[in-house]
Amino acid sequence: METGMPPFAEQDSATHSAAPPAGHSQDDTLLVLPDALAKVLGDNRALPSLPASVMQIVALAESPDANLQDFTAAIERDPALTLRILGLANSVFHAYDTPAETCQEAITRLGIDATLSVALGFGLASQQQFRARGLDLSYFWQRALISALTSYTLARQLALPSPGRAFTLGLLQDIGMLALDACLRRGYAALLSSVDDHAALSAAEHKAWGCDHALVGAWLAQRWGLPKQLVSGIANSHLPLDQVLIGQRCVNAAGPLAEAWLDCSAADNHAATDDMPLTDMLRELVPTLGIDEDALIELLCGLQETLPPTAELMHISCPPEFDATRTLLEAKQQLHAHHLKLSQQLLNQRLEIERLRLRQADLTQRVSHDPLTGLFNRAHLEALLEQHFREALDQGNELSLVFIDLDYFKQLNDQHGHRLGDEVLKGFAGLLRELLSHDILGGRYGGEEFVLFLPGAGAEAAMRLAETLQQRMASRTLAVTVDHNAIRVSASMGVVSLVDSDFVNAEDLIQAADQAMYIAKRAGRGRIARYCDGVEEEPQQDSV
């Protein structure tokens, strides 16, 4: 029966066979401590050690020649460990029909990797040899156990291949703290009392000795001869989640989760608090681990059941009970509230971006367009014309231009008012817009003056365009007076082509067209005149 709990239930023979051969040197991955620490830790006799029986099991786990009988013999030499292994194999986590009666049966059920986990955990946690200086050993092992269970459960949830190893790494990831505490004594005690949490501890260790307890733990694990995967797993156990692979991520997430769990337990038992350390952890883990919020909370709720029996098996005092289900539900509610806030912020940001986009579009429009008519303004027209002027010169293309000036506009304003004058300008702009295309560009030059230009086309095309415009003006009402009189206006136009003279720039071209336009004015208005080679042509007489 699957209980969801057992770090010891898998038959992870792959891990065993993948272990390096006995005596295999791990020199290629030899971990080196910073000088200051190496001097103090070196061969310090105070360093934590493993019981001989556990050392033998570790050695067997590293040996490709070891068989089940070898493991059984090694474990049976330690009656307390044998009892633990039998107890575990027959616990609620391994609901077989018949109980395991021999050590060999128990190991077969647990698997080698899980047996090693039990041996290491039991061997370390149950030892009384560690005389802590500044460490709260009870808290240390509680954290380690919760971390081991969480790491294991996460690995199971993600269907990773070695949840047993995740358990062992969760348990051993802070083993370096034991070494530092034993060897540095007061120095480490002072450092421990100066920090508030685990992350701050790692940072302080780095500052003081050039590395944190994760590296010290890995160094220690290497001295004990633990499998290479365990050594590197411990070394990497404090790296940020986004810097490690998913298997390691379960381990690295488990430590802070265990700390948050114990914080909640302490808060629940000592003082009411609104502080919810688990909420922050969940918020970080949900996207990083790829486990959805509900599954993660359910998984953590399961800890409530698995923690007490596992603590008993490992001889670790159980953390004070607290209403974890309620705490996790509150954390979930806080998380939802946080999501809502984030969604609102996101919405506000989108609205703000849209507002800025519209404002930007509006500013861009204002920079290049005339506000009354919506046509290109003078500055933009000049820039555009200059660009086409250069291109036409460079590529030997034609370019022609029509300068348009509405006739008697002052008179119109004086007679009907400035507002009607504006209406006429807008009406004329509408008429002009009908003529604009990819090949015909134009806009308002200023006041009652407008410009059209034709890239790639000569004076004949420009003349035809001016005539079309003139015809349409003759038949189009541009505005209506208050007493319903239709207003039509005429315009005087000057036409120029790039080939008409040696023009130096676009401004020259406009001036030439302007001059031609004045010829048309002087000839009686409502006419079109061409500028030709500096010689002003006689205006046509047939204009409207």
Q: How far is CA 161 from CA 113, 118, 231, 237, 528, in A?
A: 12, 18, 18, 18, 88
Site for ligand GTP in 391-420 (CB under 6 A): 405-411, 413, 418
Residue 44: CA atoms inside 13 Å, Cβ hemisphere, count? 18
Classify residue 283 as exposed, middle or buried by CB count within 10 Å of its CB (0-12, 13-18, 19+): middle
Contact flag: residue 172 with ligand GTP (CB under 6 A):
no
Task: Judge contact between 529 and 536, C-beta under 8 A.
Answer: yes
Q: Which of 372, 383, 486, 504 binds ligand GTP (CB under 6 A)?
A: 372
Min separation Cβ 501 and ligand GTP, Å: 24
**Contact residues for 265 (Cβ-Cβ < 8 A; gap 6+):** 319, 320, 321, 322, 324
- When the beta carbons of 289 and 495 are compared against ligand GTP, the nearer one is 495
The structure tokens listed for 373 are: 């008519």
Q: Which of 421, 427, 442, 526 binds ligand GTP (CB under 6 A)?
A: 421
Residues 493, 498, 499, CA angle at the centre, nearest 5°? 115
Min separation Cβ 506 and ligand GTP, Å: 23
The structure tokens listed for 438 are: 């990819």
What does DSSP assign to residue 290?
I
CA distance 212 to 174: 10
Helices 213-224 + 198-209 axis angle, to 10: 80
- Rg of the Cα atoms in the chain: 43
- When the beta carbons of 445 and 453 are compared against ligand GTP, the nearer one is 445
CA distance 100 to 91: 10
Q: Listing from the earlier edge strand, what are the strands of the sheet with 491-497?
A: 441-446, 449-455, 399-406, 491-497, 528-532, 535-536
Q: Of 448, 460, 507, 536, which is the active-site residue?
A: 448
Q: Which of 521, 528, 531, 536 binds ligand GTP (CB under 6 A)?
A: 521
- When the beta carbons of 202 and 413 are compared against ligand GTP, the nearer one is 413
Residue 251: closest CA among 386, 351, 325, 149: 149
Q: Which residues pair with 443 in a beta bridge?
A: 376, 451
- When the beta carbons of 181 and 514 are compared against ligand GTP, the nearer one is 514
Contact flag: residue 370 with ligand GTP (CB under 6 A):
no
- When the beta carbons of 113 and 405 are compared against ligand GTP, the nearer one is 405
Min separation Cβ 541 and ligand GTP, Å: 18
Contact flag: residue 447 with ligand GTP (CB under 6 A):
yes
Min separation Cβ 341 and ligand GTP, Å: 51
- When the beta carbons of 336 and 419 are compared against ligand GTP, the nearer one is 419
Residues 430, 436, 438, CA angle at the centre, nearest 5°? 155
Catalytic, 448? Answer yes
Task: Judge contact between 520 and 492, C-beta under 8 A.
Answer: yes
- When the beta carbons of 78 and 407 are compared against ligand GTP, the nearer one is 407
- When the beta carbons of 322 and 408 are compared against ligand GTP, the nearer one is 408
**Contact residues for 230 (Cβ-Cβ < 8 A; gap 6+):** 165, 168, 169, 172, 221
Min separation Cβ 447 and ligand GTP, Å: 3
- When the beta carbons of 209 and 450 are compared against ligand GTP, the nearer one is 450
Site string for ligand GTP, 422-441 (x = CB under 6 A): x--x----------------
Min separation Cβ 518 and ligand GTP, Å: 9
Min separation Cβ 422 and ligand GTP, Å: 5
For the chain, helix, strand, coil in percent to 5 are 60, 10, 30
Helix (H) or strand (E) segment spanning residue 19: none
Contact flag: residue 448 with ligand GTP (CB under 6 A):
yes
Min separation Cβ 534 and ligand GTP, Å: 23
Task: Judge contact between 251 and 237, C-beta under 8 A.
Answer: yes
Contact flag: residue 522 with ligand GTP (CB under 6 A):
no
Site string for ligand GTP, 89-108 (x = CB under 6 A): --------------------
Min separation Cβ 451 and ligand GTP, Å: 15
Please identify the residue of the shown chain whose CB is closest to the bound ligand GTP: 421
Active site (catalytic) residues: 448
Q: Which residues of this chain interact with ligand GTP, rule CB under 6 A?
A: 372, 405-411, 413, 418, 421-422, 425, 447-448, 521, 525
